[in-house]
């Protein structure tokens, strides 16, 4: 696919829709072009989108005008009577569609972070329009012939490495986008793309409707036994917010359901809440996703086979570091054996505790979190609530700022006079060690109904250099769903939330520190199984004992985390890793099983999932991290055939962090400079494996990950 196509598809895949509007005009009246802020240069500090002026009614005409402009830009390339060259074909194509990208870079992030029914309606309207527009470009025979003509002469051209990568990327995207298909097959290719564009939106829409529609209301205080005071207080505030004063409301948002499963003594309520979670999209109602999954899997397979691939996975992985489904499956199964064996041992320990309590039940999936916490407390005298006071949100944020200053010389200045897309979002100017402007960073921390669940990084503007030589700086946003403040208590993050903050900030650095020429190759536009390296390496500093002393201060006393607590954390680093790795691998293997199908498709989604898990020997006490009907990563996100990439990148980040450790200085400037130069700045200007070897001097050693997880 072309860059404009692949970029828009990536943005579309990331967004999922919500039901509440905050901060947008809801009028759907038509608007005149000259009144549309999306179609004029942004007269704002740093060129930030003028969010306060943008209304829902502006998007549809802006998309229409942007597509019209790109068509004219493509036509100018086609009417050039000169022999196709890099300068008259590749470069104008690379820079075409900038207005369309600009509009999409505003619209789709908003539909994830601050949506409304009106924005949902616009999304449903423009999805098939964009799909058709993308195919008009991708399947244009005259355009492809010009690009192919330049590509076939690539060895004769005096191109630098980045230009060679650009040319190869564009040519391959056209081929993978159907440009070589005969005309009759191209029509079917278009139909598949258009249908998939709406199915993937509907899948995410259904998951979020189910997520936002579930509440577990408790009206008897006895049913709160075991829950920490802060969790009880947050549930009471949730109840008050939805008109249920005097009660307690628990939802399927992570800050609510996870601690309930960890601490609630009432087993029936744990089961009720967990069933609400894992039955999303599987309730035989208007939001059921089973038929959608069958269609998506079948259409992806048909499209891949139209292009000459055996499976969708073979098509996807050709562009990743792993290259083939066989490589991925071999990699996953090498990890599966040690992980499931460890998980079985953990299940034995839990069942033993259940039996010792003289409880008359067999361990089930909704018991795992609860008994894991009890065992952690018994074995290590540690539970999550002991750590939270040392991870107030503001301290974690300051710690990340300190870390990136030590590593890369970055400075952060909070801005109060710039447009923001929601009152809860914070804006910062990011500067380098020389005080030079690097980019703008938005951060948005807490759940709300207008925001989808999870945590992610995206951009309102990517870094690149214009044809006139202007360096365009990025505007990056980090969106999370962390625990809110409660009463007089600030937002105290769990260890997992703190680690997530470091993770997403790593993605942010990948976007902010990009230093390439061409938009297609910038920032996070890298292979899916490489993109998690910058994020996951940051997690290592989150729990490094030396760095904890620099940022993990008690929110009341200001005292640093004591040594004995740090030692307890270290002692539990491999605790429960059998469960954590097994539930992840189960989901990654399920993804591959869906997308390595070569015929017949899926007849019964839940039967397919059950059979897949039985084949690998997943124990009944554990379910995949994502079951099929709410598996947004692969059915409404960008990770189909690529969910494995988190643990693939886990090998990379464990080995990369070892490079710092080997120097005896976890902030070693020379190592940080190499990581910045060959990973954070380079985007896709060279192949990912080449860039890694330039940083590390060798291929990654997988033993670092196995040791880290205690699976050797």
Residues labelled catalytic: 504
The pair of structure tokens assigned to 472 is 């365009």
Do 539 and 502 form a contact (C-beta atoms < 8 A)? yes
Buried b (16+ CB within 10 A) or exposed e, 22-43: bebeeeeeebeeeebbbbeebe
Q: Residue 90 has what DSSP assignment?
A: I
Do 117 and 484 form a contact (C-beta atoms < 8 A)? no
Nearest one of 577, 618, 587, 620 to 372, comparing CA atoms = 577
Nearest one of 178, 201, 174, 173 to 188, comparing CA atoms = 178
Rg of the chain's alpha carbons, rounded to an integer? 25
Residue whose structure tokens are 């899926």: 602
Do 273 and 259 form a contact (C-beta atoms < 8 A)? no
Helix (H, G, I), strand (E, B) or coil at 220: coil
Do 64 and 57 form a contact (C-beta atoms < 8 A)? no
Do 539 and 503 form a contact (C-beta atoms < 8 A)? yes
Do 209 and 287 form a contact (C-beta atoms < 8 A)? yes
Strand partners, 53: none
Residue whose structure tokens are 């051209």: 157
Do 136 and 72 form a contact (C-beta atoms < 8 A)? no
> For the chain, what is the largest distance between any 2 Cα atoms, rounded to a whole number of angstroms?
85
* CA distances, 418 to each of 199, 207, 478, 594, 667 (Å): 37, 34, 17, 45, 33
H or E stretch at 271? helix 267-278
Q: Up-side HSE of residue 237: CA atoms within 13 Å toward CB?
A: 13
* Whole-number Å distance between alpha carbons of 696 and 674: 8
Q: Which residues contact 399 (CB under 8 A, 6 or more apart)?
A: 547, 550, 551, 552
Nearest one of 320, 90, 308, 319 to 178, comparing CA atoms = 308
- DSSP for 212-252, written as a single string: HH--EEE--GGGGTT--HHHHHHHHHHHHHTT-TTSEEE-S
Nearest one of 494, 470, 33, 51 to 234, comparing CA atoms = 494
Q: Residue 454 has what DSSP assignment?
A: S
H or E stretch at 690? helix 688-696
């Amino acid at each position: 696919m072309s860059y404009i196509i692949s970029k828009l598809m990536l943005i579309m895949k990331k967004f999922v829709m919500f039901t509440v509007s905050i901060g947008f005009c809801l009028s759907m009246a038509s608007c005149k072009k000259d009144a549309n802020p999306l179609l004029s240069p942004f007269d704002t500090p740093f060129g930030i989108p003028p969010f306060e002026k943008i209304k829902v009614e502006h998007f549809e005409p802006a998309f229409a005008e942007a597509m019209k402009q790109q068509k004219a830009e493509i036509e100018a390339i086609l009417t050039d009577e000169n022999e196709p060259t890099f300068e008259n074909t590749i470069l104008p194509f690379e820079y075409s569609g900038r207005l369309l990208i600009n509009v999409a870079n505003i619209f789709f992030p908003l539909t994830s972070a601050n949506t409304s029914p009106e924005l949902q309606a616009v999304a449903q309207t423009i999805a098939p329009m964009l799909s058709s527009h993308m195919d008009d470009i991708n399947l244009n025979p005259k355009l492809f012939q010009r690009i192919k003509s330049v590509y076939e002469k690539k060895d004769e051209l005096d191109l630098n490495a980045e230009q060679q990568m650009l040319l190869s990327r564009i040519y391959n995207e056209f081929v993978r986008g159907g440009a070589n298909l005969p005309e009759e097959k191209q029509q079917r290719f278009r139909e598949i793309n258009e249908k998939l564009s709406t199915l993937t939106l509907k899948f995410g829409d259904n998951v979020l409707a189910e997520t936002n529609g579930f509440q577990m209301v408790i009206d008897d205080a006895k049913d709160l036994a075991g829950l920490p005071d802060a969790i009880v207080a947050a549930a009471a505030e949730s109840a008050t917010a939805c008109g249920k004063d005097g009660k307690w409301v628990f939802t399927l948002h992570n800050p609510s359901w996870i601690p309930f499963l960890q601490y609630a003594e009432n087993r029936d309520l744990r089961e009720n809440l967990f069933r609400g979670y894992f039955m999303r999209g599987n309730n035989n109602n208007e939001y059921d996703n089973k038929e959608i999954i069958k269609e998506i899997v079948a259409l992806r397979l048909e499209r891949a086979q139209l292009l000459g691939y055996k499976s969708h996975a073979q098509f996807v992985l050709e562009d990743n570091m792993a290259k083939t489904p066989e490589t991925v499956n071999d990699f996953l199964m090498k990890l599966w054996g040690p992980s499931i064996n460890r998980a079985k041992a953990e299940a034995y320990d839990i069942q033993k505790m259940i039996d010792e309590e003289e409880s008359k039940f067999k361990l089930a999936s909704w018991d795992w979190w609860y008994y894991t916490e009890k065992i952690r407390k018994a074995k290590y005298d540690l539970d999550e609530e002991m750590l939270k006071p040392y991870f107030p949100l503001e301290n974690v944020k300051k710690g990340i700022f300190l870390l990136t200053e030590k590593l890369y010389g970055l400075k952060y200045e909070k801005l109060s006079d710039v447009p923001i897309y929601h009152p809860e979002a914070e804006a910062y100017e990011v500067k380098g060690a020389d005080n030079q402007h690097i980019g703008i960073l938005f951060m948005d921390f807490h759940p709300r109904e207008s925001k989808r669940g999870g945590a992610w990084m995206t951009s309102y503007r990517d870094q690149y250099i214009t044809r006139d030589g202007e360096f365009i700086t990025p505007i990056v946003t980090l969106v999370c769903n962390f625990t809110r403040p409660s009463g007089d208590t600030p937002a105290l993050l769990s260890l997992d939330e703190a680690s997530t903050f470091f993770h997403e900030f790593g993605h942010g650095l990948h976007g902010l520190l990009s230093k390439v020429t061409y938009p297609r190759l910038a920032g996070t536009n890298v292979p899916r199984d490489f993109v998690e390296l910058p994020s996951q390496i940051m997690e290592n500093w989150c729990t490094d004992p030396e760095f904890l002393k620099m940022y993990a201060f008690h929110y009341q006393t200001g005292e640093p985390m004591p040594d004995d607590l740090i030692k307890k954390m270290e002692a539990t680093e491999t605790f429960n890793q059998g469960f954590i790795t097994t539930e992840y691998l189960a989901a990654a293997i399920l993804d591959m099983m869906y997308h390595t199908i070569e015929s017949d498709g899926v007849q019964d989604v839940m039967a397919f999932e059950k059979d897949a898990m039985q084949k690998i020997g997943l124990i009944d006490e554990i379910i995949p991290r994502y079951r099929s009907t709410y598996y947004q990563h692969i059915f409404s996100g960008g990770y189909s055939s690529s969910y494995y990439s988190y643990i693939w990148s886990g090998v990379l980040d464990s080995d990369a962090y070892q490079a710092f450790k080997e120097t005896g200085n976890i902030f070693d400037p020379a190592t940080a400079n190499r990581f910045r130069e060959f990973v954070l700045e380079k985007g896709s200007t060279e192949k990912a494996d080449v860039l890694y070897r330039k940083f590390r001097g060798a291929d990654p050693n997988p033993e670092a990950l196995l040791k880290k997880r205690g699976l050797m």
